[in-house]
Amino acid sequence: MASSTNDDDLFFKTAELSRLMVPADANVAGNVHGGIIMEMMEQSANVAASRYFNHYSAASDAKIHVMTARVESLTFQQPLLVGDVAKVQAQVVFASQHTLAVAVKLLSERLATQHEDLVVGNRAIMWIVGHVVRGEDSADKFELAIAPKLDPPTKENDKEAFMAYQLASMAYNRRKAHQEADPASLPNSGMMDEEKDINPPSSAKEKQPMAFSSPDDSAVELAQVMLPADCVTGGGLVGGGVVMKLMDNASGVAAVRHCGTNVVTVSVDAVDLAAPVRLGDVLRIRARPIFTSNKSIEISLQVIAERYSLGHDNKFQREEIVAIQQAYFTFVSLAPNSNKALSMRPLEPKTADDKKLFQQGKERYEQRKALRSPTGATKKP
């Protein structure tokens, strides 16, 4: 992601992963699932953070495992298609006492064309924490690692990393101020444009009925047991990217139920992973539409981990852990065989709670519109 005069120092704060997108990664229209993209980006962020923690940490007698604590924001700027080569680059840009902010971007190389330029498809800032593991018996004992000090990138040496550092620093200070004022509050995160400056063809308008739909009509709950392939550490911790991929699947189902068309993820609000998900947990993801604009739909998600254990009386005990209290995924509906956005089928809230959620979704939508700037807007196909 960056150039530096000290190649060794740069290596221990960066990571780059590449992968060819295959049909198993995409929906029936050939658009790569947003969850696949998020998983790759989270993996790259974890590699960079793990290198940094373990190379610079003062706890030389212990191994530090990393896990994602928060996704500050994630934008989808260009579609990723089957046959593209995705190159994910991550760089540690900010460090607080216990957390690292990792700037991640995904570049796509379209092999089926004559253009050799790499296109930025996604950007994100992810917050990673480390926990110290001493010996094999301490996998369940979480001791937060102290984040090694980081010299902030400078504008002269790396303009892109410097801009990411500024965004991370502002987000950290904003979140800290919110938590000091109200420990239960969370800062708002700006997201990229979720509506495209195009008009759907008149034929699509005529064929798509504008009937209203209630949130419960499209709500879904998906459940899946966490297996060894879902874990990224020896301690049996499930990767945050795996959880986000399942969240994208669930919210995508809810969006398809509402639209009845091909849908794609265009933005993800801040995601706080409040508790770690472990091997053997039954992950339940609840997804429910709460707001629609002219061309977008916002899905609210909650993630519950069901954990089973054998008690002293040899009876199985069941525990429910809220892994993610609330998250919001935004989708648009696409016309067949094109990337043109269709007008969204309106959502009709009926209960007082649904109307309140709809209004909150509308306020977030208006905030995102206010945060857009001509210099930061990216034209989407």
Cα–Cα distance, 146 to 130 (Å, whole number):
8
Residue 54 Cα distances to 6, 90, 183, 214, angstroms: 18, 16, 31, 50
75 Cβ neighbours under 8 A, 6+ residues apart = 122, 123, 124, 191, 192, 267
Segment 143-151 mean pLDDT: 90
Q: How much is the pLDDT for 210?
A: 47
Q: Is residue 197 flagged as an active site residue?
A: no
The whole-chain average pLDDT of the chain stands at 84
Confidence check: pLDDT of 173 > 80: yes
| pLDDT value for 372 | 66
With residue 101 as reference, give the H or E element that holds it: strand 99-110
Output the pLDDT for position 140: 54
Q: What is the pLDDT of residues 281-304, one digit of tens each?
A: 999 999 999 999 999 999 999 999
Q: Is the pLDDT of residue 202 over 50?
A: no
* % of the chain exceeding 70 in pLDDT: 82
Nearest CA among 55, 134, 144, 48 for reference residue 96: 144
Active site residue 9: no
Q: Tell me the mean pLDDT in the region 310-326.
A: 88
Are 190 and 371 in contact by the 8 Å Cβ rule? The answer is: yes
The answer to whether residue 38 scores a pLDDT higher than 80 is yes
- The number of angstroms, rounded, from the C-alpha of 366 to the middle of its chain's C-alpha atoms is 21
pLDDT at 374: 54
Whole-model pTM: value is 0.75
Q: Take residue 25 and report the two structure tokens written for it.
A: 């990664």
User: Which of the following is catalytic: 193, 248, 269, 281?
Assistant: 248
Task: Retrieve residue 326's tokens.
Answer: 């609330």
As a whole number of angstroms, the distance between CA 289 and CA 271 comes to 17
Share of the chain above pLDDT 90, in %: 54
Model pLDDT, residue 116: 66
- Assess whether pLDDT exceeds 50 at residue 196: no
Comparing 334 with 134, the larger pLDDT belongs to 334
Domains of the chain (ranges, CATH numbers) = 1-190 (3.10.129.10), 194-381 (3.10.129.10)
Q: Of 183, 147, 180, 374, which Cα lies nearest the Cα of 274? A: 183
- Per-residue pLDDT of 211-230, as tens digits, reads 568 899 999 999 999 988 88
Higher pLDDT, 165 or 185: 165
